[in-house]
Structure 1
Amino acid sequence: MNWIGKWRNQYGSIVEIIDDANGKLAGMFRTALPDSAFYGQDVRISGIHQGNCVCFAAAGQGPAGDVIVSYTGMIREGRMETLWFVVADAALTASAAGEPAAVKKLNWWRSMTTSADTFKRVS
């Protein structure tokens, strides 16, 4: 399986894989979602692959602090079908409507978000 290329998900976010040698992946991720902690950034990805199976992750900082996203999935019918997890160390919260937000550390169970994305190769 050749993983090198640009892959776009259903929201317009892009994963660009620039190296897939020796079972490893390297590249970058750029989200299209303005409410993502990574919005406006190109974050480096690294990962592994075996046959049609793939896993990669990115880490960075958002407005509230440290964030990591990991994707695990496989190729089916030319699409990269993935499940993802985001872990965020903190969130911006306000004590009441109209009050300024402040960074608040999250309990571990509150810091996790998960969903699924389908990426299609665009180049």
Structure 2
Amino acid sequence: MELFYVLFFGCLNFLIYYYLINNLKINKRIIVFIILILIIFSLIQILYLNKFYLTNEDFYNLVFFSFLIIFNHYSFEALILFFIGNKEKLKYAPVEKKRLVFMINIMRHKVIYIMIFAYQISFILNF
């Protein structure tokens, strides 16, 4: 059962990544299929599985962590705008600011997803 939860949260995090980054080329049928699987599994969890494995409260907390990715994405965007002003100024910014923006983008596009997914996996496997 843990595998289904890990796949669910992996798919949810991937879908959030797909919509926030917008540079992935994936067939729309695959995205619709993933969305349908997420909806079906969510309904099964809410109606049936909450008595046997994860409670709905724990499930909602893990889903909340997935949606924190959206908040983090836009807060890092605000941080970049705070340091640079706008993205056109990045071309003429000093090297230190370019490095800072590069590191913020690494955090925003990669590290946050990995950290949240690792937390979700550890919670599910230790439950």
Q: TM-score, normalised by structure 1?
A: 0.24
More helix by share: 2
Greater RCO, 1 or 2 (C-alpha within 8 Å, sep 6+): 2
Scaled by the length of structure 2, the TM-score of the pair is 0.24
Larger radius of gyration: 2
More strand by share: 1
